[in-house]
Amino acid sequence: MSRRVLLQEGMRLLRPFRRLILLAAACGAAAGLATVALLATVNRALNQPEGLASGLFGAFLGLCAMTLVGRAVSDILTNRVGQRLVAQVRTALGRKILEAPIAALERYRSHRLLPVLTKDVDMISDIAFLLASLLIASAVTLGCFIYLAWLSLPMFLLLLVSLGLGSIIQYRARARAIRGFRAARDSEDTLHKAYRAISEGAKELRINRRRRAMVFGGQIEATIDRIRAINEGAIRNFVLANTVGSALLFLVIGLLLAWQLLFPAPDQAVLSGFVLVLLFVKGPMDQIIAAIPSLGRAQIAFGRIAELSAGFVTPEPGVTTDRPVPPDRQIDSLALRGLRYAYPASKGSTPFTLGPIDLTIRRGEIVFIVGDNGSGKTTLIKLLLGLYVPTEGEVLLDGRPVTDLDRDDYRQLFTTVFADYHLFEELAEDADGLAERAGPYLERLEIAHKVTVENGAFSTTDLSTGQRKRLALVQAYLERRPIVVFDEWAADQDPTFRRIFYTELLPELRSQGRTLIVISHDDRYFDIADRVVRLDAGRVQAEEVAVAKDPAP
Ligand SMILES: Nc1ncnc2c1ncn2[C@@H]1O[C@H](COP(=O)(O)OP(=O)(O)OP(=O)(O)O)[C@@H](O)[C@H]1O
């Protein structure tokens, strides 16, 4: 991402806080200038026989107060901007992810997503507080330089030469470090992926020592070591550049003292003042220089956040959290007309394409979608559910095409249990009387002894794989939506419950007026369906009223 785009993105984010930032900057600058004036007052008092008694005491007190109050106000305001900025970025990213097209989310892998949401956003929060001190340090440094130039121009020119040299060294160290930090940040994604592997694959790793060694030594340790080496090298370069910078400053002081020997100064106060202020300004200058690595890292973090934002820049129209839920309604038919979908091409393999598919499903039907692994069943239901936008063709609801604008309303007609479903503990239903409504379903699915519904949520989801899936089915019952889609729901069920699912639960759901679309490999139950749609390599191979292979036990 180019620097210009980053800058524009930064300005856009900061725009709502411009008043607070200006106020914080003004207070910081006032505190910085008051510090410089305080220094000048001390210098004057030190070089006058009567010291602070010569009317400088009031100025001393006033400048002390201004320094302290200005710094405190600037710190508080900058912190406020920082915290609000982070809250704004977090909310915006959360919203973008919620509103992003599913296909875009599937492309942006979660091991890349999570470090941005946690690490990069935290980095911005850390840097936000640093900004107030940086602002004040910059104001103090600038004020001191102006004072130094006013004290003695030739001495100041000597200082400028040394500063120029120091800046070149710092700039080169920074450019190298940024490259390193960027590589380190890329490795953080790899590390996150490996961490996910050891938490999600804990069982597999426990029983396979060779794989454990591969993942730990080859991925985790190697990545951690790479990040350590890069950061260590970058910081070492910064420290060396800093040391050279400090040495240059001491050299200037040495030269000034030598200058006094060679050309005795007409005014001793000028030289002592110059050296005093120079030693003082080293503090704020060191503060600015010490912040350079953090600023470099923040720049990279900010780039990652901007990149993620750009990845999800086009939200799905109509997918907002504040739109009202459409009222319950029935449907007469769903139809796919000339529907095609192509996954984006990936390196080294031909992308899978589905279609063209023509299919009509009528209210109250039970339609099975069957076919070999990879034949496109899940892709088809994602299109049917409006989760993917067709590359060609259209989906018709009661004869009317589903458009971008009403696709999210259309999706609210479905209840789904995906093969890779996520079970939410909270039920998105009115909590009043929910426990009573859920009770019979929990009984029916033989999990009432394990789970209850309390305060609109399941009491637990710590259940066996098959039991969790039954809980997902309870949700489907409670949602009362007109179309229910199951993606291999029965795959984890014992034979008895599998039979109950096909021979009792599906007909029961249909008798409630629901339309059922079921992906299944259980050919012995195909006779339950009104129609069986068989897919092969992304095309409908046959549409038939199938008969069970064997009688159900
Ligand atoms: N997110 C994706 N990006 C690219 N290709 C994908 C993606 N998801 C699926 N595919 C490809 O689409 C093809 C069909 O996948 P799909 O999941 O629809 O098959 P399926 O019939 O449901 O298979 P299974 O019975 O194994 O669940 C596969 O060959 C797969 O490689």
Closest of 343, 384, 387, 330 to residue 518, by C-alpha: 384
Residue 247 has pLDDT above 90, yes or no: no
The listed range with the strongest mean pLDDT (383-387, 479-483, 524-528) is 383-387
Residue nearest to atom 4 of ligand 1 (CA): 343
- For 114-138, what is the mean pLDDT? 79
The whole-model pTM stands at 0.74
Nearest CA to ligand 1 atom 30: 374
> Whose Cα sits closest to atom 1 in ligand 1?
106
Q: Which residues, 6+ apart, have CB-to-CB distance to 523 below 8 Å? A: 370, 546, 548, 549
Crossing angle of helices 465-479 and 434-444, in 10° steps, is 130
Beta bridge partners of 417: 486
Averaged pLDDT score across all residues of the chain: 84
What is the tens place of the pLDDT at every residue in 397-419? Answer: 999 999 988 888 899 899 999 98
Higher pLDDT, 422 or 133: 422
Q: Identify the band that residue 392 occupies on the pLDDT scale cut at 50, 70 and 90.
A: very high
Report pLDDT for 365.
Answer: 93
Using DSSP bridges, classify how beta strands 483-487 and 515-519 pair: parallel, antiparallel or unpaired.
parallel
**Top mean-pLDDT range of 37-51, 98-112, 176-190, 359-373:** 359-373
State the pLDDT at residue 552: 42
- Which residues have C-beta atoms less than 6 Å from ligand 1? 106, 343, 352, 371, 373-379
Region 155-161: mean pLDDT is 86
Name the most confidently modeled range: 146-160, 321-335, 510-524. 510-524
Q: Per-domain residue ranges for the chain?
A: 3-311, 333-544
Sign of CA dihedral 416, 422, 428, 434: positive
Share of the chain above pLDDT 70, in %: 95
At 276-333, the pLDDT tens digits run 888 888 888 888 888 877 888 888 888 888 888 777 777 777 776 667 777 777 889 9
* Residue among 343, 357, 369 whose CB has most ligand 1 atoms within 8 A, to mutate: 343
Eight-class DSSP state of 218: I
Residue 264 is predicted with a pLDDT of 65
What spacing in Å lies between the alpha carbon of 353 and ligand 1's midpoint? 10
Could you report the predicted ipTM of this complex, rounded to two decimals? 0.97
- Averaged over 514-538, what is the pLDDT? 91
**What's the CATH code, domain 3-311?**
1.20.1560.10
- Burial of residue 344, with CB atoms counted within 10 A of its CB: 0-12 exposed, 13-18 middle, 19 or more buried: exposed
| Residue 98 predicted with pLDDT over 90 | no
Q: What is the reported pLDDT for 356?
A: 92
* pLDDT at residue 57 is higher than 60: yes
Q: What is the 8-class DSSP label of residue 171?
A: H
Average pLDDT of the segment spanning 176-186: 82
Q: How far is the CA of 384 from the centre of ligand 1 (A)?
A: 15
How far apart are the CA of 96 and the centre of ligand 1, in A? 25
Show the beta-strand stretches assigned E in 343-442. 353-362, 366-371, 392-397, 400-401, 414-417
- In this structure, what DSSP letter does residue 108 have? S
pLDDT reported for residue 353? 92
> What integer is the mean pLDDT of 151-170?
85
Give the mean model confidence (pLDDT) for residues 522-547: 84
Task: Examine the pLDDT at 546 and tell me if it is beyond 60.
Answer: no
Instruction: Tell me the CA–centroid distance for residue 374 and ligand 1, in Å.
Output: 5
Q: What's the residue count for the chain?
A: 553
Q: Report the residue among 109, 349, 368, 378 best suited for mutation to probe ligand 1: largest number of ligand atoms under 8 A from its CB.
A: 378
Confidence of residue 228 (pLDDT cuts 50, 70, 90): very high
Burial (CB count within 10 angstroms: exposed 0-12, middle 13-18, buried 19+), residue 473: buried
Q: Which residue has the higher pLDDT, 104 or 111?
A: 104
Give the separation between CA 373 and CA 288, rounded to whole angstroms.
Answer: 60
333-544 is classed CATH 3.40.50.720: no
Is the Cβ–Cβ distance between 32 and 138 less than 8 Å? yes
Q: How far does residue 328's CA lie from ligand 1's centre (Å)?
A: 32
What pLDDT shows up at residue 381? Answer: 94
